Each structure stands twice: as C-alpha cells, then as structure tokens.
Structure 1
C-alpha cells in the first residue's frame, strides 16, 4: 500500500496528527503510516465516512459514524416499495392466472372478514422477504440503497450473514416497522438484528 492509499484512512482517523515537517502522522506513534494492508488502530472521526472495503473484520469500525441519514433511509423506502409492489403485482398476476387455469371451477380460499384471497397475503409477505433477503445477502444493498449509495453492515463493517439478513427481512413484516427509522435513522429491523445501514464510500 503506497502513501496515498494509506492517507485515505489516516485523513479520517481520530488518531491523526498534522506536523508541518512530516505531514499527517499517527498521533499514537508520532510516525507516518507504515501499514501494508490495514491499521489496527484505525478509528474514523465523527462525521466522517470510514472506508469499509479493506477494513472488514479488521478494525474497531464504528457503524454509527457512517450511519445513513433519515433522508436517505426514506428514499430507500420509497424506491424499494416501488420495486416491491411491481414484483408483487407480477407474481400475483402470474399466480392468479395459473390458479384460474388449474382450478377453473373452484373458488380460492378467502378471508371472511375482508374478502381478500389468503394467497394474496402469502404472496405479498413472500415477495417482501424474498426481495430483501436475496438483494442484501447477495449485494449488501437493495435497489433503493444502490440509488442512495448506502448498504447494510454489521457492527464490524461486514456484510451480515444470510441468516441475519433473513431475520432482518422477516422483521419488516411487523406492522408500521417500515417507518421505525424516522426517530433516529435506525429501524426496528436494524436494532433487532444488530445491523446498520451506512453510507459507503
């Protein structure tokens, strides 16, 4: 790693110190950076976005420093809701067509109170869980997060494992959970699974 690459981290580290004769040095050692792959003392300054890629699982990464704003979370919600509704309509239409062709003389199971087909609820929840699980487990982000430059990470800056992502997705099925991030930019699905949505450099 050359000096310029090292400075990408030093410039946002809480331990940095500027000395006119030497430039940016480590405030802990008083020496210029000399790490090759990562610095075990790296700690991003408040208000700065730490570079995550090279530091996954290697630093005391503080996700709260890079936490995505409420505005970005809201944009994520809008974009992902649009994608979700489109997918639900497509899957619902296809399922309805198949059911009509296979059982033309049989009525589908309905919810007595509302008259809504029960399979519609099953499809809706299944698409929601499937969309978020596949996107976040595969890419660390959904379509909405791609638009805003954010991603989901665990407390160490890693992309969460598939089991954690699946639990995150299930948590989204709780009524009104989608708006739970409005109070402090962390939703219930974040808190319940110890995950964070951060702005990624």
Structure 2
C-alpha cells in the first residue's frame, strides 16, 4: 500500500485502538518484557562465564535491588525504542493489529518514540486508561495515538480516494 499521507488526514476517535486492544498490548508486552529481561540476564551471565569475565559475573550477581531495577528499565526502554522506531509496533501491537502513529497519521520519529517510552515509566500511567478516552499519558504527552491498523488503513484509503476525485489524469 502507498504510505503517502494526505496533508489533510488526521487520526480520529474511530481509528483509535479500543480499550480491550490496549489492555491486550499491555499484557502481551508485559510478558515479553519479563521474558526479555530474564533471557538477557541468562545470556549475559552465560557469556560472561564462557569468556571468563569473573568480575562481570560478580557485578551482575551482586547488583542491589535498585541497580537491578534500573538495569531492567534500560532493557525495557531499549525494547520499546528499538522496535517502535523501526516498525511502529511492539509484539503486542502485532498480535492485536494496532500500531503507533502521530496525530496526522505519520510515522513517529525516534525522538517522539523515545519521549513516549520515557513517559511509560510515569508511576501512574496505567491509571490514565480509566478515563473515558483510553489514551494513556505516554500517548498524550508524546502526541501519539495507537490505532487499529485495519481502521486506520481504511480511513487513509478513503481519504486518498476523496482527494483523487476531480483530479483528471493528464495524458
């Protein structure tokens, strides 16, 4: 599909992902995050052991809870930034058929995704979904939207079709 976005295109409420899909994204990505953190921990310890980096093994096994917490945040932030910058979707979003876009339907840049990711760590971000509009603080502060891919693409195609009406091809 042609990904050019008409200049008068904007995300509307009917394109936004439902509360249920957003909850699905959260739960799936939460499982992925736990698996990822533990997998990277195991791989890291295994590599340190194989290459005889005793000091690194001692460092990782002796992390205090606060250091472990910040290391986990770094891993989780890397997951969101890398995957959303490259694909606009996390694994949860792939499964639920959603993606992140800017207000005008364009792909968010790396800075916007980084801001979105940092805002995920606001302690009460999850409570922002109990409002009438299921748009989290990490969405509103970064000026992004999570849209249902099918609804978004249908609206985009419709907008392109309307823009083509009256435009005659020049032979």
Fold conserved (TM > 0.5)?
Answer: yes
Choose from 91, 94, 100 the match for 2:43: 94
Task: Answer yes or no: is 1:186 the counterpart of 2:127.
Answer: no
Q: CA deviation at 1:182?
A: 3.4
The aligned length equals 144
Q: Deviations over 1:46-81 (max 9, x none)?
A: xxxxxx964525223233231111000000001111
CA drift of 1:175 comes to: 1.5
1:109-124 aligned within 5 A: 109-110=63-64, 116=65, 118=67, 120-124=68-72
Say what the alpha-carbon RMSD is for the aligned residues. 2.5
Q: Which residue of 1 aligns with 2:9?
A: 60
CA distance in 2, matches of 1:152, 1:132: 11
Partner of 2:62: 108
**Residue 117 of structure 2 corresponds to residue 169 of structure 1:** yes
Q: Which residue pairs with 1:150 in the alignment?
A: 98
Which of 1 and 2 has greater Rg? 1
In structure 2, what is the equivalent of residue 25 of structure 1?
Answer: none
Superposition deviation, residue 179 in structure 1: 4.4
Q: Which moved more, 1:147-156 or 1:94-103?
A: 94-103
CA drift of 1:132 comes to 0.8
* Separation in structure 2 between the aligned mates of residue 149 and residue 53 of structure 1, nearest angstrom: 19
TM-score when scaled to structure 2? 0.73
Going by fraction, where is helix more abundant, 1 or 2?
A: 2
